[in-house]
Amino acid sequence: MNKDHNQVWKNCLEVIKDNVSPQGFKTWFEPIKPVKLEDSILTIQVPSQFFYEWLEEHYVSLLKKIIRKELGAEGRLEYSIIMENNHNNANPYTIKVPTSNRKAVKNSPVTMPLDLGESPIKNPFIIPGLRKMQVDSNLNPNYSFDNFIEGDCNRLARSAGFAVANKPGGTAFNPLLIYGGVGLGKTHLAHAIGIEIKNKFEDKTVLYVSSEKFTHQFIDAVKNNTVNDFTHFYQMIDVLIIDDVQFFSGKEKTQDVFFHIFNHLHQTGKQIIITSDKPPVEMQGMEQRLLSRFKWGLSADLQVPSLETRIAILKKKMYADGIDLPDEVVEYLGYSITSNVRELEGALISLIAQSSLNKKAITLDLAKQMIDKFVKNTAREVSIDYIQKVVCDYFDLPIELLKSKTRKREIVQARQIAMYFAKKMTKSSLASIGAHCGGKDHATVLHACRTVNNLQETDKHFRKYLEDLEKKLSIA
């Protein structure tokens, strides 16, 4: 058969287009790239594991039919997935369809998989048959600096990470400790540093390992009587990245072996990068001597990203996944999900999935409903930012003016209304509401609330404004 994969896929798309909703087509089929056609097997590249599972779950029978029509009874489809959170292999891997079990079949792995149960090689990281010790760095190529949006929330940690990447072991930032709450980008940043070092210094041995994995390896080493091998292996690493070090707490033996590895690496000018969910002073169950070493270098924290950064992250993510959403939806997500980036991404994915499932276009309404259903457990409340935005949109005023100190009449009134709703709908203190609205004090906010209440009783136009706004602000 002498068919070209592009042409075949194009033919498939034509049929698919007639059989799925426009949004479904856009979300799930436009981002697919045909890769090759060999022996009646068409390989298509999809952006993520989630994407593949989604296709399998929802479109498999359609795809089967179409492939059979295009390529005959022998026709098969294979997916090539751009790697996500699987750290073992940077290359896309391939999954065959039809398949009854969901397990990914790796395509010629270049490195030894970490979890190979009955490996004849003692150390799971070492690739056999090479002269110089080669270590699978375990880095996820998606977690690069390029994909890491910079904001006030991460500026210090990011630039320290960058400095370390330019001169591993050669800066005062050794160890570099990155700490912050869950889902704020610690793991991402740690990988980014590792990737950057690998790009700049090909010969350096970089290793990313979670504290959990380190602990399990150590326990195995104790069982198998190979603690020396274990220690030696780690002492040969040039750049050691230990993720979620808080997992070591209360594990004295693991801390002990890590202490020795740490000392050796530090003395020989090797770089150590650690992440943790809290700063050293707050780490419980950690040996003092280890804690004091954590403080030798630089501790940099990651904070909750600002609204602008959250929106930038969403846009970047959408771009990477080939998804397009109306601006008002993106803004709504950014306004509503304030606590961490992982949740933000989760909401985005749920939204796309939801829209595809119900064959509905992604509208602001759908976003509101979805957030209510999926993100409820985070006790979300409308944010002051969101209230300000809705009020300004309603009165067609620039939001900067509302946040400024200006005393222009129409701005003052809009500002007062925003304060009133902030008081009514959020748990923020009067002082913090004031700070958000042009740096006013709590007495001004109180006064604003009274004024709005009075006007509401006496002015029916004003009352109408409030009713409209209240509707816009209440979710779903």
Q: Which residues bind ligand ADP (CB under 6 A)?
A: 143, 147-149, 154, 180, 182-188, 313, 341-342, 345
Task: Please give the structure tokens belonging to residue 229.
Answer: 């091998």
Task: Name the residue nearer to Mg ion (CB basis): 80 or 187.
Answer: 187
Evaluate whether 240 touches 269 at the Cβ level (below 8 Å).
no
As given in the structure block, the two tokens for residue 456 are 């509401």
| Smallest distance, ligand ADP to C-beta of residue 199, A | 18
Q: Would you state the structure tokens that stand for residue 11, as one six-digit string?
A: 């033919």
Burial code (b: 16+ CB inside 10 Å, e: under 16) for 256-289 equals ebbeebbebbbeeebbbbbbbbeebeebeebbee
Judged by beta carbon distances under 5 to 8 A according to partner kind, the member of ligand ADP, Mg ion, none in contact with residue 89 is none
Considering beta carbons, is residue 75 or 180 the nearer one to ligand ADP?
A: 180
Residue 81's binding partner out of ligand ADP, Mg ion, none, with CB under 5 to 8 Å set by partner kind? none
Residues 345, 190 contacting (CB under 8 angstroms)? no
Q: Residue 383's closest CA among 307, 303, 435?
A: 307
Minimum distance, C-beta of residue 242 to Mg ion, in the bound complex (Å): 11
Residue among 279 and 322 whose Cβ is closer to Mg ion: 279
Site membership for Mg ion, residue 255 (CB under 5 A): no
Q: Name the binder of 169 from ligand ADP, Mg ion, none, CB < 5-8 A by kind.
A: none
Residue 421 is given by DSSP the state H
Q: From the CB of 341, what's the least distance to ligand ADP, in Å?
A: 3
Q: In angstroms, what is the minimal distance from the CB of 474 to ligand ADP?
A: 29
Cα–Cα dist 228/236, whole Å: 12
Min separation Cβ 180 and ligand ADP, Å? 6
Interacting partner of 276 out of ligand ADP, Mg ion, none (Cβ under 5 to 8 A depending on kind): none
Q: What 3-state class would DSSP assign to 71?
A: helix
∠ CA 53-57-63, nearest 5°, is 100
As measured in angstroms, the least distance from the Cβ of 268 to ligand ADP is 28
CA distances from 16 to 13, 43, 98, 119, 378 (A): 5, 17, 18, 44, 38
Among 230, 154, 234, residue whose Cα is nearest residue 193: 154
313 binds, among ligand ADP, Mg ion, none (CB under 5 to 8 A by kind): ligand ADP
Query: Shortest gap between Cβ of 437 and ligand ADP (angstroms)?
Result: 27
Q: Which of residues 71-130 bind Mg ion (CB under 5 A)?
A: none
Binds 286, which of ligand ADP, Mg ion, none (CB < 5 to 8 A, cut-off by type)? none
Q: Which is nearer to ligand ADP, 112 or 323 (CB)?
A: 323
| Partner from Mg ion, ligand ADP, none binding residue 345, C-beta < 5-8 Å depending on class | ligand ADP
Q: Which does 149 bind (CB under 5 to 8 A by kind): Mg ion, ligand ADP, none?
A: ligand ADP
Judged by CB under 5 A, the chain residues 316 through 335 that form the site for Mg ion are none
Name the β-bridge partners of 239: 206, 271
Query: By CB under 5 A, what part of segment 170-229 binds Mg ion?
Result: 186-187
Min separation Cβ 59 and ligand ADP, Å: 25
Beta strands in 247-384 (DSSP E): 271-276, 298-302
Judge residue 21's burial from the number of C-beta atoms within 10 Å of its C-beta, 0-12 exposed, 13-18 middle, 19 or more buried. Answer: middle
Task: Select the residue whose beta carbon is closest to Mg ion and give its number.
Answer: 187
Residues at the contact surface with Mg ion, assessed by CB under 5 A: 186-187
